[in-house]
Amino acid sequence: MSVSGGPAASDKRELRRELLAARAGLTPDDLRESAAALARRALELPELAQARVVAAYVSVGSEPGTLALLDALRARGVRVLLPALLPDNDLDWGVYDGEGSLASVRHGGRMALLEPVGDRLGPDAVTGADVVLLPGLAVDGRGVRMGRGGGSYDRVLARLERAGAGAALVVLLYDGEVVARVPSEEHDRAVHAVVTPSGIRRYGSVSS
């Protein structure tokens, strides 16, 4: 694997540009239809059917839509944790209590994020989740995920690993974002499954 800043990092930047450009071309109808299909597929996952606590996120912009899935999980009685971005790019967590429990927060010049308005539970709260739903731009045939490059979820994955957490790691993507190979770096970790509007791919069992 390459070290950060090497050829893999450059290749990632190029792949990110391509994938973000494809997302930018999606219409509102595309986004609505994909979000509904994604929720249906994700709810087929046995890990989600058995989960009591799910760490998730609120999609923004042209990301694969998550609100329908969050509401469906909450309706099942699942405790849904959502992230709040900290100044150092780490993530704190709060409980999702419906769309009314979200507030739009802008961090510097970035796109505004929807974050939970209730009590903060601390960055380590994610280690108690049965399933962690991860944003991303691509996953390859090895299960290696590529994010946007901010590093927030690299910290989450490292925290889960340090804690010995057995959470199922699931990435939500569009169909065209399952690629042959993601340029990988030393800190990259494989996930257990990817859900797209057309189906589910698995990459190995959840550690016990």
152 in any annotated domain: yes
Domain containing 39 — which CATH number?
Answer: 3.40.50.10420
How many other C-beta atoms can be found within 10 angstroms of the C-beta atom of residue 88?
8
pLDDT tens by residue, 166-192: 899 999 999 999 998 888 776 667 899
Domain count of the fold of the chain:
1
Q: From the annotation, which residues make up the binding site? A: 12-16, 58, 63, 145-153
Q: Are 174 and 151 in contact (CB under 8 A)?
A: no
The annotation places the binding site for substrate at 58, 63
- Residue 35 falls within a domain, yes or no? yes
**Is residue 84 included in any domain, yes or no?**
yes
Whether 1 is in a domain gets the answer: no
Domain assignment present for 2: no
Residue 186's pLDDT is 67
Binding-site residue numbers for ATP are 12-16, 145-153
Residue 208 counted as domain residue: no
Per-residue pLDDT tens over the stretch 43-58: 999 999 999 999 999 9
Residue 81 lies in a domain: yes
Look up the domain containing 104 and give its range: 7-202
Is 98 a domain residue? yes
